[in-house]
Amino acid sequence: MQANVFTAVLMPVALGIIMLGLGLSLTLEDFKRVIFYPRAVLVGLACQMLLLPVVCALVAHAFNLPPELAVGLMLLSASPGGATANLFSHLARGDVALNITLTAVNSALTLFTLPLIINLSMAHFLGEERAVPMQFAKVIQVFAIVLGPVSVGMFFRSRKPDLARKLDRPIRLSSVLFLAAVIGGAVYQERENVLGYFLQVGTAALAFNVISMLVGYFLPLLLRLPRRQAVAIGMEIGIHNGMLAMTIALSPSLLGNPTMAIPPAIYSLAMYFTAAAFGFVVSRGHEGTQDAPSLSPSPTPEKVS
**How do residues 73-121 score in pLDDT, each as one tens digit?**
998 888 877 677 888 888 888 888 888 888 777 777 777 787 888 888 8
Q: What is the mean pLDDT of the chain?
A: 76
Q: Which is more confident, 175 or 239?
A: 239
pLDDT of residue 301: 39
Percentage of the residues of the chain whose pLDDT score is greater than 70: 69
pLDDT of residue 23: 74
pLDDT at 299 over 90: no
Q: Distance from CA of residue 287 to its chain's centroid?
A: 24
Single-letter code of the amino acid located at 31: F
Contact 246, 3 (CB under 8 A): yes
pLDDT of residue 186: 56
pLDDT of residue 27: 72
**How do residues 26-40 score in pLDDT, each as one tens digit?**
677 766 766 776 888
Of the listed ranges 176-185, 205-214, 240-249, the least confidently predicted one is: 176-185
pLDDT at 66 over 90: no
* Cα gap 261→275, rounded to integer Å: 21
Give the model's confidence band at 158: pLDDT under 50 very low, under 70 low, under 90 confident, else very high: confident
pLDDT at 290 over 60: no
**How do residues 255-268 score in pLDDT, each as one tens digit?**
777 778 888 888 88
pLDDT at 296 over 60: no
Of the listed ranges 11-20, 40-49, 78-87, the least confidently predicted one is: 11-20
Between the two ends of the chain, the Cα-to-Cα distance in Å is: 47
Domain-wise residue ranges, the chain: 5-281
Of the listed ranges 48-57, 179-188, 205-214, 249-258, the least confidently predicted one is: 179-188
* Cα gap 231→218, rounded to integer Å: 9
pLDDT at 297 over 70: no
Task: Report the alpha-carbon angle 76-276-205, nearest 5.
Answer: 30
Single-letter code of the amino acid located at 14: A
pLDDT at 6 over 60: no
The maximal CA–CA distance of the chain, rounded, in angstroms, is 59
* Cα gap 41→44, rounded to integer Å: 5
**How do residues 47-63 score in pLDDT, each as one tens digit?**
888 899 999 999 999 99
pLDDT of residue 222: 93
Q: CATH assignment of 5-281?
A: 1.20.1530.20
Task: Report the alpha-carbon angle 177-179-180, nearest 5.
Answer: 65
Q: Which of 254, 247, 244, 84 minimizes the C-alpha distance to 175?
A: 84
Give me the mean pLDDT over the 231-251 stretch.
Answer: 82
